[in-house]
Amino acid sequence: MREALASLHFHFGRFANPIGVMLAEHESAGASLDQVRKITRNYEIPSHACDRYRALFEGFESLERDLHMHIHLENNILFPRALALQP
């Protein structure tokens, strides 16, 4: 596999270039979700909230969980494996 990659030329250069961009995007997305969590007081649902309000906050929590899993998989599994492949 490494030999096959060695003969390829990618328009973005080395894998580290787009991976660096994606790592920065992960930081930015995480900071944005931190702001949502802060604004919503940790997704605290007021006692007077309607069903749509509750669904919105549950959606925020689900988005945060899914995004953290996505970031973990890329940062800790995919990116290191991709970098190890490129000579």
Domain ranges of the chain: 2-85
Query: What is the arithmetic mean of pLDDT over 58-86?
Result: 95
The average pLDDT across 77-83 equals 94
**Can you give the pLDDT at residue 86?**
81
> What does the pLDDT look like over 13-71, one tens digit per residue?
678 889 999 999 999 999 999 999 999 999 999 999 999 999 999 999 999 999 999 99
- Worst-scoring range by mean pLDDT, 7-11, 67-71, 78-82? 7-11
Q: Tell me 15's DSSP state.
A: T
What is the pTM assigned to this prediction? 0.77
What is the maximum alpha-carbon separation in the chain? 63
Residues in CB range of 79: below 8 A, 6 or more apart: 19, 22, 23
